[in-house]
Amino acid sequence: MLGRILLGLFIVLCLAVGWLYIVGSGLLGSEWHSAAVTAGPRPIPQAAQVQPVGDSPQQREAKPQDDTPQILFGDLHNHTNYSIDAYVFNTRLVKGGGIVTPADACDFARYCSALDFWSVNDHAEGLTPRVWSDTVNAIRECNAAAGDPANPDMVSFVGWEWSNGAKDDVPSHYGHKNVIFRTWEEGQTPTRPIAAQPQYVLSKVPVPVLGLLSLTDGVKDAADLGLFMQESRETPTCPEGVPSNELSTACREVALTPRDLYRKLDEWGFDSMVIPHGLAWGTTNPLTADFRDQMDQYEQRYQNLLEIYSGHGNSEVFEDFQRIGETATGERYCPEATANFTPCCQQAGVIARARCDDPASAVCEQQVQQAVSDFVEQGDPKGRKLFADASLDDWAGCGQLQNTFQPASMYVPRMSAQYTLALGFDAGGAPQRARFGLVGSSDGHQARPGSSYKETNRLLYTDSKDVGRESLATDFYKADKESAGFYYTGGLVAAHTRGRNRDAIWEALSNRNVYATSGDRMLVWFELLNGPGGAVPMGSQVMLNETPRFRVRALGAFEQQPGCPDYTIAALGEERVQSLCGGECYRPGGDRRKAITRIEVVRIRPQVRPDELIKPLIEDPWRVMDCPADGSGCQMEFEDPEYGSSARSALYYVRVIQEPQQLIIGDPFGCEYDEQGECIERHYCIGANAKPENNCLFEAEPRAWTSPIFLEYR
């Protein structure tokens, strides 16, 4: 009898696994295609109609013409379901966002976030020739709906993300970079993307596991995903040694290094740019990574911009810390804590001492030292398993950069923007500088570019996962639930242009006449007043020996009204406004602008010797000015009398700080403070704190970062 039961269970199990295999392999699926773009154009947004007049920024009431100086806002980093991780994230098992297409991203950018320009950047490692062609067609449709090409309501760029994932091999880890093209017309776009590896990591998920999605998402959606992943797996790798523009359209092209990528882009010959991002993210980068190791792969003609802020956090500041120290002889040790960073090996000692019967005893001291030593041996974050029952509050925010604005999780300091800009030599000691302009973006995986216009819907506007699927509500690349609480609504890139057409925007991006914002549409001007030929804007590189004089001007973002504009409702309909926009859109009201509270200037003097320490070269802040609280804007002029006497090159950028407001994950630690301002209890937006109805709002100061002005001493 027992044998028959076991046999029956075995047969049922085989049938179940077989069924899951059939579903997960895509045998029952159909090819997924982008939806149709909603007709346009929309009215040109009022916020774009701005230029400086006289000595202060003022609003220009006339409609912008082809050559009107203005500030346009965009998002150059967005994913749809053609990124396999986005497809998985948006299943009901993980997040529940549903199928999102390049056309959805177009409609969201046009009608929900009212962007002036945007780009689609799905992961090249999972794309196939078919879906790439579908993506390009969607972008062509999106631009065709934009109205007059000389003065469109929105410009849509096409590109992909090149994602180098050699995380365990530090010297050859080149991070993630977005490739964007100026053109999208037939014959002016590559026929395939260029990947950093032959296959995306998620393509290796066992087929029966994909079939499990049918239990929550239904057979059709699970089978469609299975078919898409099977299509990706079966795309052959292109042969080496054949120029990119002569390869078959039916293969996946691979460039293992940035230099290989640039060579292949040269072979295509189309105008393009490569924007590194996520450099300081410890969730996708080696914790000991150093940008110096890839300086020999840096080429200014492609890598002209750097994404300093996104929905995955802020990568600006350089904090000189180590998680685990190492002596010249290779001996590992636990470094001391700094004002903004506590190594978790130090906190392991604190936890061990708190568990002693007599914290002051010699026995306890021995237990503390043993805990620290064991943690150093295990490394971070594996060492946390030494105290499996310890809470996140027990670890007290160790291993994370604290006391800074919306930092990236598991911060990697030697990949930060400040560190990168201060470098003057590559790892071999050869002179090399990276002169980046600074941009912001969303890096959202919901096909919702520019999702930072309102802090109203955490699950829709960020990469946060639904806590109802708590086992999967973690950072996807690392089983670290704490990192799941570091997802923000994302930033924007602002471009100073003459006109709002494709060429005007591309010129501003190419000239680094751009700045980043944390999401709010602040207006910022930054210029060198006494360049050799007169005033020059942010992003400029100038030969200068005399004392430089600068001016910065800023206006806060418009206050937002609830709901969506009438033109959005007319174009999308009430139901889609709710499903796509979350019922809220970019909708500035009246003339009331938020107040700029202060302006901070950062000065960096890049290395002049390979062995020169980086930290003393970064002065942050170097100058600070408080601003009026009435929302009228702020202006600051300053000079650097030390520049000429120092006889060395320098760069200057400005951080504009806006009045505090409630932001989604405004504080990723969710701190409660004592009277001394110390964080006494943390409420990370994870687990029970991250229910869908909780937006995890905390007060923070939105900001903008200008591109530097680079002064080269003769």
Return the pLDDT at 477: 31
Q: Is the pLDDT of residue 47 over 90?
A: no
Q: Is the pLDDT of residue 567 over 70?
A: yes
Burial bucket for residue 389 (CB in 10 Å: 0-12, 13-18, 19+) = exposed
Give the DSSP H/E element, type plus range, for residue 134: helix 129-144
Q: Is the pLDDT of residue 624 over 90?
A: yes
pLDDT tens digit sequence for 665-694:
999 999 998 888 888 889 999 888 888 889
What's the pLDDT band for 631 if we cut at 50, 70, 90? confident
Q: Is the pLDDT of residue 634 over 90?
A: yes
CATH superfamily, with its number, for domain 46-198+237-319+406-712: Metal-dependent hydrolases (3.20.20.140)
Q: What is the mean pLDDT of residues 437-443?
A: 97
Tell me the average pLDDT of the chain. Answer: 90
Return the pLDDT at 171: 60
Q: What is the mean pLDDT of residues 545-556?
A: 96
CA nearest to 19, candidates 230, 202, 204, 226: 226
**CA 107 to CA 409: how far, in whole Å?**
31
Return the bridge partners of 493, or none: 74, 516
Q: Is the pLDDT of residue 517 over 50?
A: yes
DSSP string, 219-283: HHHHHHHHHHHHHHHHSPBPPTTS-GGGS-TTSBEE-SSHHHHHHHHHHHT--EEEEEE-TT-TT
Burial bucket for residue 206 (CB in 10 Å: 0-12, 13-18, 19+) = exposed
Return the pLDDT at 200: 73
pLDDT tens digit sequence for 201-230:
766 777 777 777 777 778 888 888 888 888
Q: What is the mean pLDDT of residues 155-160?
A: 98
**CA 119 to CA 179: how far, in whole Å?**
10
Q: Is the pLDDT of residue 59 over 80?
A: no
How far CA 491 is from CA of 195, 323, 487, 522, in Å, comes to 25, 28, 12, 11
Strands (E) located in 112-167: 117-123, 155-163
pTM (predicted TM-score): 0.94
Q: What is the mean pLDDT of residues 72-81?
A: 96
Q: What is the mean pLDDT of residues 363-380?
A: 94
Q: What is the mean pLDDT of residues 537-552?
A: 97
So where are the chain's domains?
1-30+199-236, 46-198+237-319+406-712, 325-395
Residue with the bigger pLDDT between 68 and 102: it is 102
pLDDT tens digit sequence for 280-339:
998 888 888 999 999 999 999 999 999 999 999 999 999 999 999 999 898 999 999 999
pLDDT tens digit sequence for 5-14:
777 777 777 7
Return the pLDDT at 222: 82
pLDDT tens digit sequence for 643-660:
999 999 999 999 999 999
